[in-house]
Amino acid sequence: MMRNELRLGAVTVFLLALASMTGNVECERALVAYGDTNSVDTFSGIPYFFLQAGRRIGLFRAGVALRPERFRRRRLLWNAVRPLTLDRPRGFNCSRAHLQELWADRGAPSGIGEYVSHYQLLPPREVVREPVSYYIDATMNQYFEEYGRQLGRRIKGEALAREQEAYLSARFVVCMSRWCADDVKAFYGVSPEKVRVILPGANIEEASVPALTTWDGNLSPLRLGFIGIDWERKGGPILLDVATRLQRMGHSVEVVVIGHDASELPPHPSLRPVGFIDKARDLRHFVELVRSFHFGCLLSQAEALGISTLECLRLGVPVIGTAVGGIVDTIPKDAGLLMPTERTSEHLANELAAVLETPARYARMREAAHNVASDQSWDRAAREFLALLETDSLAAANPRARTAPRAS
């Protein structure tokens, strides 16, 4: 990935220089999400960190501020009325009327000529005429099928149809993983020429990332880190079972949990819950804890991507994940363990026991994580996205201009 980043960075410089000779292709872009993209609390902070990185290099002029909290009463009314129409009481944020009202109430500067959206159904196609590209972690079809999110048949069908129309009319549908990209092409019928893959970055301010430190050689206790609030889906119970098995083998283990208080978790001698950490106010504490992990763990049953694995890698910590959804693309070779879904907690415990008995193997994982750490940044993702859009603009203005390499 390091070579790819350098190549794309060089392409971006070349294209911007070429643009000054062939005509101005710059565009006043804004980032869109279901919420305020200027807030770190929107969608786990993904739009916020993408926006900040994009602003630094001219990818974005602004972030659109949408305020879905203003429509709480209408959401309640929607849910109450849906059973009368023989439909499930969910799906308000997919409804055409709501999204149009939400867009009309937006906060954004004038003069925006193009949008990049992190929400599949925004901006509303029937209202916005400016070009739109999408940057998504999963399609709605994947959310419905993989996460088991239940919507009424009518609103689900309408949402999927409008999502398909949006992708077909978009400049690009940029996906955060190959898993997502495959569904955009197969389920929605989008041309492969429009579909790209750009891995996102860690939700950590780059200015706050400390220099990577050398591993001290200690693996006792083995510190397994869990970051997230969906304990069951992200594999918390599996992680505790792994810890129990390792303890029975005679190994000392700690399971450090960021996102849950002790009262929210089952009792276990290995648990070290630290509760929720507000990265906007206490990023140093978050960074110090993650750097203390031996492995960041994401043993999810379903996962569109898994930003926590990128956060661990950005700080030089190896990761363990299950081979589901987009997790596969977030675990580089040799920088951790990617577990097939058919493997059990017993298999993982045995794998970790083997690592504990061969410290040199862990040292190689740590080195590999350090080697890819700088690739896990939003600055890198923003540069790749800018290179894609600028290449496309130049190709339209100058057919003889070279096309940028695919970010896949």
pLDDT tens digit string along 165-183? 999 999 999 999 999 999 9
Return d(Cα 66, Cα 108) in angstroms, integer.
9
Spans of all domains in the chain: 23-201+378-397, 206-375
The CATH-assigned architecture of domain 206-375 is 3-Layer(aba) Sandwich (3.40)
Tell me, yes or no, if the two domains 23-201+378-397 and 206-375 fold the same way.
yes
359 by DSSP, 3-state: which? helix
pLDDT at site 401: 43
pTM of the model: 0.88
Per-position DSSP letters for 224-252, written without gaps between them: EEEE-S-TTTTTHHHHHHHHHHHHHTT--
> Residue 223 and residue 78: Cα distance in Å, rounded?
46
Q: Which two tokens stand for residue 119?
A: 């929400």
23-201+378-397 topology per CATH: Rossmann fold (3.40.50)
25-71: pLDDT as tens digits = 457 999 999 999 999 999 999 999 999 999 999 999 999 999 999 99
- Tell me how far CA of residue 194 lies from CA of 85, 163, 199, in angstroms: 38, 15, 16
Q: Which run of H or of E encompasses 272? A: strand 271-275
Instruction: Decide: helix, strand or coil at residue 38.
Output: coil
pLDDT digits (tens, 9 = 90+) for 301-317: 899 999 999 999 999 99
Residue range 64-105, pLDDT digits in tens: 999 999 999 988 987 788 777 767 778 889 999 999 999 999
* Greater model confidence, 399 or 189: 189
Kindly state the average pLDDT of the residues 231-237.
95
Angle of CA points 252, 253, 257, to nearest 5°:
160
Cα 363 from Cα 353, distance rounded (Å):
15
Residue keyed to tokens 């040799």: 334
Residues 6+ apart with CB under 8 A from 11: 387, 391, 404, 405
Could you read off the pLDDT of 347-403 as tens digits, one per residue? Answer: 999 999 999 999 999 999 999 999 999 999 999 999 999 999 998 766 665 554 444
The CA distance from 86 to 18, in Å, is 58
Q: Give the whole-angstrom CA distance, residue 197 versus residue 207.
A: 26
- Following CA atoms 32, 33, 34, 39 in sequence, which dihedral angle do they give, to the nearest 10 degrees? -100
Q: What is the DSSP code (8-state) at residue 187?
A: T
